[in-house]
Structure 1
Amino acid sequence: MSLTAHIPSHRKPRRSASKVALRAGVAGGVLSTIGVAGAAGPANAEPVTATIEMPTITADLANTVAVSAEATQQVAHAYDLQAQQDEAAAKAAKAAKKDKAEAERKAEAEAKRKAEEAAKKKAAQEAAEKAAAEERASRSSERTTLSASASVGSSSSSASSPVATGSAAAVVAFARAQVGDAYVMGSTGPNSWDCSGLVQAAFRQAGIDLPRVSGAQSSLGTSVSVDSLQPGDILYWGSRSNSYHVAVYVGDGKYVGAQNPSTGVVERSLSYDMPTGAVRVL
């Protein structure tokens, strides 16, 4: 009689191949143990009739094993993800440190450039101010010299060539001292003029207050012919009392006037731009 004849059947519904294989392995091991024991016992031993309960792998145990394996995988995945995040954070920190250093270097270079530009501008401004001061001093000296020359000339006038004397000499000297100044519409000095502003300032040196505009200036005094001019006469262009330009006659067929923005204050011959007429207020 077979040793397994009295082992009760524990058949259950069909399970997966892995569970069946596992069960078969356990049963085979038990049967082998029983077979060996039977072979080693006495020949007249009674047949084994005890029922042996086989261990059963339940669905709960299988689920527990599966859940444990899944949990292990999740933990491993979490460690891997944390490692990736740590590496990314380290790279980001390194890049940020590099960017900060570069930004600081650029800021320092920009600050240095601006400081150099400011120093250059300051030096240029100081040089310009020095040049302007020297120019003003030179003009002041020139005006003093011209005034002295006019005074000397008034004492040695000749009948053949009228020379500015007295108040006329002061007017002429002042007008000539402004030659080279800029022309600026509406300006009355000291370094830029328009035509009537220059004439008004020149006659102020002789103690005479003229109107501000050229039309009013040309309406004053006595009208004189261009052929009989004397130093200090006011020349005008246009019509008397409605002139558009004025200048000061300085003698020797010349005049001084603030011409236009391109020429500034100049001394020119009458033939350069013959005036319409003249008036004498001295």
Structure 2
Amino acid sequence: MSHTAHIPSHRKPRPKSASKIALRAGVAGGVLSTIAVAGAAGPANAEPVTETIEMPTITAELQAAVQQSVDATQQVALDLELQAQEDAAAKKAAQTAKKAKEEAERKAEAKKKAEEKKRAQAAAQERASRDSERTTLSADTSTSSNATGSAATVVAFLKAQLGDAYVMGATGPNSWDCSSLVQAAFRQVGIDLPRVSQDQSVAGTQVGTSNLQVGDILYWGGAGSAYHTGVYIGDGKYLDAANPGKGVVIQDLSGYPASGAVRVL
């Protein structure tokens, strides 16, 4: 056995290894994270070693993300506000346009009614004037002629239609063509004449145009193929539904001599 076996060693006992780690992390506003490392690799009474590490990358990215989220929220709110303003303006414009349209339509309708009323009044005045004229003409059946009896009745009816319109195919009471007027006049005395000029030109006894009597039917064109008829009312005049431009008028035979005449009275 060694003589030093029981002699305590003069070397200091090696302290056991120990390590201590502390980690501190903070976020928001540039908080620093600190890692403290203490190692006992040296003597037991060695001072601890401390090291501080910054983590700026994490903090900057988080701040950027937060700011981006805030900006996006503000932009959405702004877009919604602008959209609401646009919708309100469009609604107001539509209401204004609707009111303007309704007002224009109301004015147009009022103008239309006023014009219709004015036309109706003018037509009523014209009818009243014509009726008055017809009454006067009906009472004066002997004017420009010595017609009596049936002939006077025929002439009176014809004169009562003066001023009526000429319309091809019309049969009264306010518009006529030439043959319908002649037919209606002779119907007043119970004579039923054919409807068209061709047939009326051969409906009675043929007479010469130099020996006419009041009430004779005048025709233009050939007998049986006449294209126009009228009635002789005396003094070289006749009454007929002339054409669309003249209507029912009294005319002078010298200006438009008839081709022939027939007598039915």
TM-score normalised by the chain length of structure 2: 0.76
Unaligned 5+ runs, structure 2: 1-34
1:263 pairs with 2:264: no
SS of corresponding position for 2:221: strand
1:222 pairs with 2:205: yes
What does residue 140 of structure 2 align with?
Answer: 149
1:128 pairs with 2:119: yes
Write the distance in 2 (CA, Å) between the matches of 1:78 and 1:237: 103
Write the distance in 1 (CA, Å) between the matches of 2:58 and 2:202: 118
What does residue 3 of structure 2 align with?
Answer: none
* RMSD between superposed Cα atoms in Å: 3.1
Match of 2:152 among 159, 169, 189: 169
What does residue 114 of structure 1 align with?
Answer: 105
**Residues 253 and 83 (structure 1 numbering): CA distance in 2 closer, same or farther, change over 3 Å?**
same
What does residue 139 of structure 1 align with?
Answer: 130
Report Cα offsets for 1:239-272 as digits up to 9, x if no partner. 1111111111111101111111122222110011
What does residue 236 of structure 1 align with?
Answer: 219
Question: How do 1:49-88 residues align onto structure 2 when only pairs under 5 Å count?
Answer: 50=46, 52=48, 55=51, 66-67=57-58, 69-88=60-79
Report Cα offsets for 1:30-82 as digits up to 9, x if no partner. 9xxxxxxxxxxxxxxxx88748565586xxx96xx645543432231121122
Unaligned 5+ runs, structure 1: 1-25, 31-46, 155-160
SS of corresponding position for 1:227: coil
What does residue 174 of structure 2 align with?
Answer: 191
SS of corresponding position for 1:263: coil
SS of corresponding position for 2:168: coil
**Residues 162 and 132 (structure 1 numbering): CA distance in 2 closer, same or farther, change over 3 Å?**
closer
SS of corresponding position for 1:247: strand
Write the distance in 2 (CA, Å) between the matches of 1:258 and 1:183: 6
What does residue 247 of structure 1 align with?
Answer: 230
As a proportion of its length, which structure holds more helix? 1
Report Cα offsets for 1:219-258 as digits up to 9, x if no partner. 2010010001111111111111111111111111011111
| Post-superposition offset of 1:169 | 1.0
Aligned residue identity for 2:227: Y
SS of corresponding position for 2:239: strand
Aligned residue identity for 1:255: Y
What is the total number of aligned residue pairs between the two structures? Answer: 230
Q: Is the 8 A contact 1:233 1:281 kept in 2?
A: yes
Q: Is the 8 A contact 1:162 1:230 kept in 2?
A: no
Aligned residue identity for 1:182: A
SS of corresponding position for 2:242: strand
SS of corresponding position for 1:268: strand
What does residue 17 of structure 2 align with?
Answer: none
Identity of matched residues, %:
52
Q: Which runs of 4+ in 1 moved over 3 A?
A: 47-57, 65-69
Aligned residue identity for 2:213: Q
| Post-superposition offset of 1:83 | 0.9
| Post-superposition offset of 1:194 | 0.9
Q: Is the 8 A contact 1:247 1:256 kept in 2?
A: yes
What does residue 207 of structure 1 align with?
Answer: 190
SS of corresponding position for 1:179: coil
As a proportion of its length, which structure holds more strand? 2
Write the distance in 2 (CA, Å) between the matches of 1:186 and 1:255: 21
SS of corresponding position for 2:202: coil
What does residue 91 of structure 1 align with?
Answer: 82
SS of corresponding position for 2:173: coil
